[in-house]
Amino acid sequence: MSTLEIRDLQVSVGSTQILNGITLTINSGEVHAVMGPNGAGKSTLSAAIMGKPGYEITGGSVTLDGQDVLAMPTWQRAVAGLHLVMQYPTEVPGVKLSEVLSEALTARHATLPNLNKTINEEAARISFDSELVNRAVNVDFSGGEKKRNEIMQMAILEPDVAVLDETDSGLDIDALRIVSEGVNAMRGPDTGFLVITHYQRLLEYIVPDRVHIMWDGRIVHSGGKELALELEEKGYDWVKQDLAKA
């Protein structure tokens, strides 16, 4: 079992403090959803976990199975077992998917006897056009195709902990369902998920074990899947009211 431990994480961008003490523990086999309004710090959390440039850690710690994640460059975090499914997947002209995955597996000292066969099988499972597999990564892909590509890469690399940063952004209902099925197929004792989303609709497909509400760079409420339903029904006004009373 793997464990991602985030303790009192504080992050600034430029002169602005964004995260003000995030504490969260994700074990393999668990799905944690983080919800919150725009500007709450949700995407900053994913960027800090993966080491995106421009995000300064001003306090706290992040460890994966006891390893100091914050001391690692981004590529070492991926090798250690972290994986980011991006909100806005990057286009990589001139580089094929099989080349990216082969290098990633080699870095992790892992091999697949027939990588191309596995790619085609995973592509078929999530209705990803097999023609796109042989193109440069994400070049001229639609938004939905890029997200399916991200899910396919995650399935092949089998990370210990996957961070999904607003994967539902820009997806129609069919693409949302297919992408969610790809995530659900990976659920089990070997992988933990941190699912960052604005909307409860994603959590109708990827049912979380825990839901956390982020507000002003802090987690202010945690609960079961019913917490997402409460947000859908009431919006965030009740969170603001609770904080004002406190």
**pLDDT one-digit tens code per residue, 59-84:** 999 999 999 999 999 999 999 999 99
β partners of residue 19: 11
Distance CA(187)–CA(178), nearest Å, equals 15
**pLDDT one-digit tens code per residue, 166-203:** 888 878 888 888 888 888 999 989 999 999 998 888 89
Per-residue confidence (pLDDT) for residue 246, from 0 to 100 = 66
The number of residues in the chain equals 246
- With bands split at pLDDT 50, 70 and 90, how would you rate the model's confidence at 101? confident
pLDDT at 2 over 90: yes
**pLDDT one-digit tens code per residue, 119-146:** 889 888 888 888 888 889 999 998 888 9
Distance CA(54)–CA(11), nearest Å, equals 10
CA 43 to chain centre: 9
pLDDT at 220 over 70: yes
Instruction: Report the 10 Å Cβ neighbour count for 121.
Output: 13
Closest CA to 100 of 50, 152, 61: 152
Per-residue confidence (pLDDT) for residue 1, from 0 to 100 = 84
Tokens of 125: 């499972």
Phi, psi of 134 (to 5 degrees): -95, 5
Distance CA(92)–CA(237), nearest Å, equals 41
> Nearest-5° angle of CA 17, CA 52, CA 196?
75
- With bands split at pLDDT 50, 70 and 90, how would you rate the model's confidence at 35? very high
pTM, full prediction? 0.92
Q: Quick one: what percent of the chain has pLDDT higher than 70? A: 100
Distance CA(151)–CA(148), nearest Å, equals 5
Instruction: Report the 10 Å Cβ neighbour count for 196.
Output: 25
Report yes or no: 17 and 179 within 8 Å, Cβ to Cβ.
Answer: no
- For the chain, the C-alpha Rg in angstroms (whole number) is 18
150 burial (CB, 10 Å; 0-12 / 13-18 / 19+) is buried
